[in-house]
Structure 1
Amino acid sequence: MENKKFVMSFSGGKDSILALYRMVKRGYKPVALLTTIKENEEKSWTHGLSENLLKNVSESLDIPLLLVECSVGEYEKKFEEKLQEAKKMGASICAYGDIDIQQHLQWGKDRCDATNLKAEFPLWQESREDLVYEFIDSGFITIIKTVNLKYMGEQFLGKKLTKSVIQEIKATGSDACGENGEYHTFVINGPLFKKEIKFTNNGVVLVNGYGHLDII
């Protein structure tokens, strides 16, 4: 019988949560959430989530957390080490939330090839806009955590992602799903969650052309 256990490459954002949700609905069992955090910073790469928030999500989802603490130079090596750990937990698959950027697909496949895992991309090549609406319609609640100020203003930070907010995002010329890096999200509730993730909002931080919601 096919081993249906998987590890989820997890950012805490909407796409990885939707991919996780789809895998679970297909009957696959998650053994762990694998998240990369910056060495010496205790914040996740890309989404800038604190270790504490990630642990709260892991607890609410009732899925163990595998943290990959790494610098840029060691990112791939450390990621693969944690994939080996996930295999010991029973995983035969690593699932990713990527939608249509070919180099992201290749990166994920390369990590799995190196560790003899199967790479799964549940959202691959579907409509970006349809996926973000599916996420909302499924009952997930997420806030906008980071914006690229080249595309979107800081007034979006902290907003819950709704269909009307998607229209506001599109009006800026940005992708509805933010797949080009226009914005990143932090999912705080919805299916799979046992309880909502509470956080303290310390306001907005602007750095290197990005606006971040400073939450702990």
Structure 2
Amino acid sequence: MNNKNFVMSFSGGKDSTLALYRMINRGYNPVAILTTIKKNEDESWTHGLSDDMLQRVSKSLNIPLLKVECDVCEYEKRFEEVLKEAKSMGASICAYGDIDIEDHKKWGIDRCTNADLDYEFPLWQEDRESLVHEFIDSGFTTIIKKVNLSFMGEEFLGKKLTKDVVEDIKKTGSDPCGENGEYHTFVVDGPLFKSPIEFDVKKIVLDHGYGHLEIL
């Protein structure tokens, strides 16, 4: 097995995209991107991306998509099953975009251990704001897809993440990287993409303390 082959735990957001970019630049080969999907719903966990949108991203990245379809109670078990599927495709590593939350890192390591895979955390313990700036400076385009209304207003939804917008996010008291769940992004273009991801905004939905863009 080529120990340079990896599967990327991928949300469609900026951190997992930057981690993917770094892994590729270090000479690793992505065999798949792995995304968790809500069981019986056409929506990814956390970022709320449809299957169609994820397929478009996969096609533009030219990296196969592996979907973990699960509900909360089977999340870990199904994640490990799909990691084993990635292993059968040649992956020896799973990479994650986590930055500094220890519980998240432990969760990722546990899944890899149970699936007999190594793990990489390319962004681990780096400065959050510096990572956002690196992402922007690398030429990626991302929009703010979801906000926690306890921290940020709905006016941020749909905005392209620029350094000026990062400053506006900081003014709300939110983390510039949104690592505490203040906001989530959807990356639509950049150096890994063959072509931009086209989408239309259907509406803004406010629900259970969150605002999110519904896109087609």
TM-score range, shorter chain: over 0.9
Which residue matches 2:163?
A: 163
Question: 2:212 aligns to what SS in structure 1?
Answer: strand
Which residue matches 2:70?
A: 70
Q: How does 1:97-112 map to 2 (within 5 A)?
A: 97-112=97-112
Question: 2:187 aligns to what SS in structure 1?
Answer: strand
Distance 1:105 1:166 in 2: 25
Which residue matches 2:215?
A: 215
- Within the alignment, does 1:134 sit opposite 2:134 as a pair? yes
Which residue matches 2:43?
A: 43
After TM superposition, give the deviation of residue 180 of structure 1 in Å: 0.2
Runs of 5+ consecutive residues of structure 1 not aligned to the other structure: none
Identity %: 71
After TM superposition, give the deviation of residue 203 of structure 1 in Å: 1.6
Question: 1:100 aligns to what SS in structure 2?
Answer: coil
Distance 1:2 1:191 in 2: 25
- Within the alignment, does 1:182 sit opposite 2:182 as a pair? yes
Question: 2:196 aligns to what SS in structure 1?
Answer: coil
Give the TM-score normalised by structure 2: 0.99
Which residue matches 1:201?
A: 201
After TM superposition, where is structure 1 displaced by more than 2 Å over at least 4 residues in a row?
Answer: none
After TM superposition, give the deviation of residue 200 of structure 1 in Å: 1.5
Question: 1:23 aligns to what SS in structure 2?
Answer: helix
User: How many correspondences in the alignment?
Assistant: 216
Distance 2:2 2:84 in 1: 19
Amino acid across the alignment from 1:103: D
Distance 2:6 2:42 in 1: 25
Distance 1:77 1:203 in 2: 34
RMSD: 0.8
Distance 1:54 1:31 in 2: 16
- Within the alignment, does 1:22 sit opposite 2:33 as a pair? no
After TM superposition, give the deviation of residue 42 of structure 1 in Å: 1.4
Amino acid across the alignment from 2:175: D
C-alpha deviations, 1:122-156, integer Å up to 9, x for none? Answer: 00000000000000000000000000000000000
Which residue matches 2:5?
A: 5
Give the TM-score normalised by structure 1: 0.99
C-alpha deviations, 1:36-77, integer Å up to 9, x for none? Answer: 000011100000000000000000000000011000000000
Which residue matches 1:125?
A: 125
Q: How does 1:82-97 map to 2 (within 5 A)?
A: 82-97=82-97
Question: Retained in 1: the 8 A contact 2:144–2:186?
Answer: yes
After TM superposition, give the deviation of residue 2 of structure 1 in Å: 5.7
Question: Retained in 1: the 8 A contact 2:205–2:214?
Answer: yes
Change (3 A) 1:50 1:2: closer
